[in-house]
Amino acid sequence: MSDALSNFEGLLREALAPVDPPEDLAWRLEGALTSLTEMAADELEAWELSAMRDPRNWVRPAAALVVGTTAGVALVVLRSRRRGPPPGGLRGARDAAARALRGIGGEAQNER
């Protein structure tokens, strides 16, 4: 019985061993999030204001707004984590977030 228990513990240790993510995971994730943000911006840009009268037409712009906002926030978090912890505590974090948002805004304007 003790032999089976030690074998079981060994199997658990092997199964639960930490796995390192691929080296390019952050770059692939950033590319996917950037693509989602751009597609959401294009969808919102193509939406006509005259269609606002019919609530059935609100689904696509609302979904684009949610997806674009979520992807944008995720990009800010991803880029801020890559740069490391900001110096200066909370104020430094706020300044780093503002710089990241300005960077994303600049990239969006350069894409157009």
The answer as to whether 68 is a domain residue is yes
Least confident stretch, 4-18, 27-41, 61-75, 96-110: 96-110
Domains held by the chain: number: 1
Do the domain assignments include residue 65? Answer: yes
The answer for residues whose C-beta is within 8 angstroms of residue 65's C-beta and 6 or more apart is 40, 44
Write out the residue range of the structural domain in which residue 82 sits: 24-111
Tokens of 42: 């294009």
Say what percent of the chain tops pLDDT 70.
Answer: 80
Question: Does residue 83 form part of some domain?
Answer: yes
Residue 36 has pLDDT above 70, yes or no: yes
Say what the pLDDT of residue 35 is: 93
Q: Which of 26-35, 44-53, 56-65 has the lowest mean pLDDT?
A: 44-53
Average pLDDT, the chain: 80
Is 35 a member of any domain? yes
At 18, is the pLDDT very low, low, confident or very high (cuts 50, 70, 90)? Answer: confident
**Can you list the positions of beta strands (E) in the chain?**
none
